[in-house]
Amino acid sequence: MLFLSPCTTFVDKSKKHIEMKTNYEVRYAAHPEDAKQYDTARIRRDFLIETVFAADEVNMVYSMYDRMVVGGAMPVHEALKLEAIDPLKAQWFLERRELGIYNVGGAGVVRHGDEVFELNYKEALYLGRGNKDVVFESKDAAHPAKFYFNSTNAHTTYPDRKVTKADAVVAHMGSLEMSNERNINKMIVNQVLPTCQLQMGMTELAPGSVWNTMPAHTHSRRMEAYFYFEVPEDQAVCHFMGQVQETRHIWMKGDQAVLSPEWSIHSAAATHNYTFIWGMGGENLDYGDQDFYDIKDLK
């Protein structure tokens, strides 16, 4: 079900009315035994986030998986405020939360209070708990910014920080022969800056490579969300989820996101190389707690 925020305003620009609004959905958690029975439509409804960006809108999903919020803001003609949606029961969005943001569009600006952060393509920003009046802006309406964000609950406040690929911990993995040569840019992670539970990074696949996150794995103490971009309009990504012996697939376009429960694998192959942003939330920050599975055991 789609919920519209009551904070809907109208602004007049060049004699054209532009509706400024925040849209959100609530997604409930599923038991893996129940998920086995889902058809294609149900899988897409519960896990796929088809609309991340829309002009002059903030769109988000409040997920019951570790209470993560996944969303996007695309300011074109006006600045967009990050509003506190009703499920948060908060005075402002980051009253009890932290936030990770990636710009996957034109040059943009994120403001809160007196702080101004300029974000170019593929640059990231971490905002700690307590920040008020977070506002998204584009520098050029002809080339609007696209701010993709993840937010998790936070127990304390850590400093805000802009993070670029130059700051990242980079892991070069895979090979062209295995169709999975890629750079994993760990950017909003505890090796780079302190966070409560949010961890985010960006994986770039080399030309000729299409597979990510193989061999498949799960991590029972963290959920994850994937956001795919740099996918040509006439190409697609096939995201795989589910238990190791009960996998399901979801066909996705560029600029779409998908939720991955803690009991689910999260992997994909596409008809073209691409880039994706991964975000995790849960009770620990240790990558070593993954449970890996042999490719030959997938069903």
Q: What is the DSSP string of 87-119?
A: GG--SSTTSSEEEEEEE-SS-EEEEETTEEEEE
- Domain co-membership, 260 together with 228: yes
First to last CA, the chain: 32
Is residue 44 assigned to a domain?
Answer: no
The C-alpha atoms of residue 230 and residue 271 are separated, in whole angstroms, by 12
Would you mind telling me the total number of residues written for the chain in this entry? 299
| SS3 at position 246 | strand
- What's the whole-model pTM score? 0.92
Tokens of 88: 């948060």
Of the CA atoms within 13 Å of residue 64, those in its CB half-sphere come to 7
pLDDT attached to residue 10: 33
- Domain co-membership, 175 together with 107: no
Is residue 41 assigned to a domain?
Answer: no
Is residue 183 assigned to a domain?
Answer: yes
Is residue 11 assigned to a domain?
Answer: no
Q: Side chain identity at 153, as an amino acid letter?
A: N
Query: CA dihedral defined by 206, 209, 212, 213, rounded to 10 degrees?
Result: -90
pLDDT attached to residue 293: 80
pLDDT attached to residue 3: 46
- Domain co-membership, 133 together with 200: no
Alpha carbon separation from 9 to 2, 30, 237 (Å, rounded)? 18, 35, 36
pLDDT attached to residue 287: 64
Q: In CATH, what number is assigned to the domain containing residue 200?
A: 2.60.120.10
Domain ends where: 98, 126, 155?
Answer: 155
Domain with 254 in it: 165-297
Domain ends where: 121, 155, 189?
Answer: 155
User: Under a CB-based contact definition with an 8 Å cutoff, are residues 205 and 268 in contact?
Assistant: no
Q: Which residue has tokens 């925040």?
A: 22
- Domain co-membership, 175 together with 291: yes
- Domain co-membership, 124 together with 209: no
pLDDT attached to residue 218: 84
- Domain co-membership, 108 together with 73: yes
User: Under a CB-based contact definition with an 8 Å cutoff, are residues 262 and 218 in contact?
Assistant: yes
| Alpha-carbon dihedral sign for residues 30, 259, 101, 145 | negative
The C-alpha atoms of residue 22 and residue 5 are separated, in whole angstroms, by 6
Is residue 77 assigned to a domain?
Answer: yes
| SS3 at position 64 | coil
Is residue 127 assigned to a domain?
Answer: yes
Strands 16-27, 57-63: pairing is parallel
The C-alpha atoms of residue 284 and residue 209 are separated, in whole angstroms, by 31
Is residue 122 assigned to a domain?
Answer: yes
Domain ends where: 101, 132, 155?
Answer: 155
The C-alpha atoms of residue 72 and residue 114 are separated, in whole angstroms, by 23
Q: What is the count of structural domains for the chain?
A: 2
Counting as low any pLDDT under 70, the low residues of the chain are: 1-20, 287-288
Q: In CATH, what number is assigned to the domain containing residue 127?
A: 2.60.120.520
- Domain co-membership, 146 together with 196: no
| SS3 at position 298 | coil
Tell me how crowded residue 155 is: count the other CB atoms within 10 A of its CB: 9
pLDDT attached to residue 295: 86
- Domain co-membership, 210 together with 122: no
